């Protein structure tokens, strides 16, 4: 058994009977509105992410519209800029009813996680960003 396989087996055994993810302080919304509002994310979840965190915070690829996966979305360009060089606070303007700090923390947890593929992270973060923000200066 390889070291990686041993680690996976250990992690699977360790998670049996473990309490549900503590990434969110409140239960995640379900249904059509699941991605309408950012969720509360702990600093621990932002720092370490992981599969249980991403299951609650990042939409599956089947939910993400194609425009956020093909490189044509202005939101995807902002995500790429953020990932590779940082994000200016003034770039994103929260939509009505969105807590900017809460939304940024949610997006940071998704973007900083090592678990999903890079393409899934960037598409998912771009999609969520489009739900919660407008881009300053964009038409």
pTM of the predicted model as reported, rounded to 2 decimal places: 0.71
CA–CA separation, 11 and 128 (whole Å): 30
Predicted pLDDT at 1: 55
Which token pair is 118? 């890079």
> Per-residue confidence of the chain (139 residues) as pLDDT tens digits?
554 444 445 444 433 443 333 333 334 445 557 788 898 888 877 777 767 667 888 899 898 998 888 777 889 888 888 887 777 767 889 999 999 999 999 998 888 877 778 889 899 999 999 999 998 866 4
Secondary structure string (H, E, C) spanning 93-107 = EECCCCCHHHHHHHH
Residues written for the chain? 139
Which pairs from 61-67 meet CB under 8 Å and 24+ separation?
61/120, 61/123, 61/124, 63/35, 63/127, 64/123, 64/124, 64/127, 65/127
Which token pair is 61? 């690829």
Give the other-Cβ count within 10 Å of 68's Cβ. Answer: 23
Predicted pLDDT at 128: 94
Predicted pLDDT at 32: 52
């Amino acid at each position: 058994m390889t070291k990686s396989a041993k680690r996976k087996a250990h992690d699977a055994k360790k998670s049996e009977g473990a309490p549900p993810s503590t990434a969110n302080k409140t239960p995640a919304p379900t249904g059509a509105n699941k991605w309408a509002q950012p969720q509360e994310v702990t600093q621990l979840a932002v720092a370490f992410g992981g599969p249980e965190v991403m299951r609650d915070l990042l939409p599956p690829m089947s939910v993400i519209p194609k425009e956020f996966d093909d490189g044509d979305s202005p939101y995807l360009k902002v995500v790429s800029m953020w990932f590779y060089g940082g994000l200016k606070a003034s770039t994103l303007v929260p939509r009505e009813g969105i807590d900017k700090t809460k939304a940024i923390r949610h997006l940071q947890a998704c973007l900083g996680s090592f678990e999903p593929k890079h393409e899934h992270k960037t598409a998912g973060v771009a999609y969520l960003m489009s739900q919660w923000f407008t881009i300053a200066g964009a038409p």
